[in-house]
Amino acid sequence: MPVYKAVGGVKIAVDALVKIVINDRLAAEVVANPEDLEDLGIGYAYSEGFISDLGDVAEVRVAGDEVRLWIKRPVDGPARRLEDCGVGHLLKAVGGGGAVDVEYMKRLAGDFTKLTIWHVDPHLAMHTSALYLDGEWLVVHDTSRHSGVIKLIGKYLRRGGAGVRIAFTTGRVSSDMVYRLATIGVDGIVSLRGPLYSGLEAACRLGIPLVSNVRNTGFTRLC
């Protein structure tokens, strides 16, 4: 369950500055809820190109708000501070498993709403992200929609591949989210809120179906 603190009888979700250290070098600082930090570290290392698969990871260790990875490749470049701006870059794109019917994606959105933090614990102000994988759901609740996607990628890698990979989020879809999901060959993305233009542009460029809940229109395919 998400990490929270009780203040005056009210549950408040914790948003921590988490350090990701790779081969004893600070690689990034990420704002995230301090749970599933192994998934956060693995998902970041993979979506940023530090590793190509789990076989490149020798060890993962979490201590407080820090996750340390030791990998079999050298680490270069300065540390990154990930902001909540949503502008990203494409590192690599893996082809999806095949065409996914948009109406099917819309129907699955109804199932996803039952998995969101609003249903699990409506007292916590958090985003929910999920992957639908051949009938199975991987779900992450996080204070940042960006960090939630990174954790999802880590969970996906630890689970193993799938034929159908559809991503869902309660937050606005931005380009960094699209680009990270492209590294696992996502077949489609559904947002319960409207996307940002950077996310729409990225999805269209990569040919990833993007369905968003548009005001007064309902779920609409935008790309």
Question: Which CATH number fits the domain that encloses residue 73?
Answer: 3.10.20.10
* Together in a domain, 213 and 132: yes
* Together in a domain, 133 and 74: no
Residue the block writes with tokens 């870059």: 89
Q: pLDDT tier at 213 (50, 70, 90 boundaries)?
A: confident
- Look at residue 98 in the predicted model and tell me its pLDDT: 61
User: Considering the entire predicted model, what is its pTM?
Assistant: 0.91
* Together in a domain, 106 and 202: yes
Q: How far apart are CA 186 and CA 188, in angstroms?
A: 6
- Quick check: is 96 in a domain? no
Q: Where are the alpha helices (DSSP H) in the chain?
A: 37-47, 102-113, 117-120, 145-159, 175-182, 197-206
The answer to whether 105 touches 194, Cβ cutoff 8 Å, is no
* Together in a domain, 126 and 211: yes
End position of a domain, from candidates 81, 113, 136? 81
Residue 51, pLDDT > 70, answer yes
End position of a domain, from candidates 81, 116, 138? 81
Quote the domain boundaries for residue 66.
13-81
* Together in a domain, 158 and 201: yes
The answer to whether 152 touches 130, Cβ cutoff 8 Å, is yes
* Together in a domain, 118 and 179: yes
Q: pLDDT tier at 96 (50, 70, 90 boundaries)?
A: low
> Could you count the other beta carbons within 10 Å of the beta carbon of residue 113?
14
The CA-based dihedral angle spanning residues 215, 216, 217, 221, taken in that order and rounded to the nearest 10 degrees? -10
If one counts the domains in the chain, the total is 2
* Together in a domain, 131 and 204: yes
* Together in a domain, 55 and 144: no
What would the two tokens of residue 93 be?
Answer: 């794109």
The pLDDT tens digits of the residues spanning 110-119 come to 899 999 988 8
- Look at residue 102 in the predicted model and tell me its pLDDT: 85
Average pLDDT value for the chain: 89
Residue 19, pLDDT > 90, answer yes
* Together in a domain, 110 and 215: yes
- The torsion angles phi and psi of 152, rounded to 5 degrees, stand at -60, -40
Q: How far apart are CA 132 and CA 111, in angstroms?
A: 10
* Together in a domain, 50 and 130: no
The pLDDT tens digits of the residues spanning 97-148 come to 566 888 888 899 989 999 998 888 888 889 999 999 999 999 999 999 999 9
Q: How far apart are CA 140 and CA 84, in angstroms?
A: 17
In the predicted model, what is the mean pLDDT of residues 7-16?
A: 90
- Look at residue 81 in the predicted model and tell me its pLDDT: 64
The CA-based dihedral angle spanning residues 200, 19, 54, 171, taken in that order and rounded to the nearest 10 degrees? -30
- Look at residue 97 in the predicted model and tell me its pLDDT: 54
* Together in a domain, 77 and 106: no
* Together in a domain, 217 and 109: yes
